[in-house]
């Protein structure tokens, strides 16, 4: 990946989001019926999110060399991959995403994904007034047009007014939790 914007495009391709709306959805705390809301997952809202390129890189470099039986495969400025590369944590610079025509805020980005109809939403908070926003979902991804589909367990989170959004994708719910816990530990230092 050459940039966070390219990573954003890959995440959209993996999640199959086709919707172009920039309006965030509200959770049940925002009064919209039929939406899914819950407590933020895995305590991710208990630490300040990295909010500049150096803090993001430092956090990703602090992720463990081995995670849930998978060796760390690659570390880049905005991404850490494990195993065959399909398990990862990625940071998306929202200013770069906006320059590419995508949502410029974490709530709008997550609202786009949640409303795409392409993912099975498990938990979400996309209200921009919430302070901390997240989306936990399952998805069926295809790595290429001729590849067999595979189920992914994804999560994305960030400060509602932050400059970065963090995305984790794994092959199982347990690996997804391990990625989130490793991120949390890396932020805490």
Mean pLDDT in runs of 10 for the chain (189 residues)? 37 34 34 54 96 97 96 94 95 96 94 93 96 96 86 97 97 96 96
Provide the pLDDT for residue 90: 97
Provide the pLDDT for residue 37: 59
Provide the pLDDT for residue 144: 84
Tell me the C-alpha to C-alpha distance, in Å, between residue 122 and each of 96, 125, 127: 28, 11, 16
- Residue 83, token pair as written in the block: 């195993």
Provide the pLDDT for residue 166: 98
Provide the pLDDT for residue 36: 57
Which residue segments constitute the domains of the chain, with CATH numbers given? 4-14+43-188 (3.40.1000)
Provide the pLDDT for residue 142: 80
List helix spans (H) across the chain: 4-15, 53-61, 94-99, 106-115, 173-188
């Amino acid at each position: 990946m050459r940039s966070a914007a390219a990573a954003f495009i890959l995440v959209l391709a993996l999640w199959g989001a086709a919707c172009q709306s920039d309006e965030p959805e509200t959770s049940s705390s925002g009064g919209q019926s039929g939406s899914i809301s819950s407590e933020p997952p895995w305590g991710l809202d208990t630490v300040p999110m990295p909010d500049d390129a150096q803090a993001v890189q430092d956090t990703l470099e602090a992720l463990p060399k081995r995670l849930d039986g998978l060796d760390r495969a690659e570390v880049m400025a905005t991404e850490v991959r494990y195993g065959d590369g399909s398990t990862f944590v990625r940071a998306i610079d929202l200013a770069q995403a906006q320059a590419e025509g995508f949502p410029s805020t974490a709530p709008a980005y997550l609202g786009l994904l949640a409303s795409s109809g392409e993912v099975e939403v498990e938990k979400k908070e996309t209200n921009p007034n919430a302070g901390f926003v997240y989306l936990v979902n399952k998805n069926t991804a295809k790595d290429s047009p001729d590849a067999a589909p595979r189920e992914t367990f994804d999560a994305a989170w960030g400060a509602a007014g932050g400059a970065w959004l963090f995305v984790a994708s794994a092959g199982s719910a347990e690996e997804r939790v391990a990625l989130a816990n490793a991120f949390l530990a890396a932020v805490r230092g």
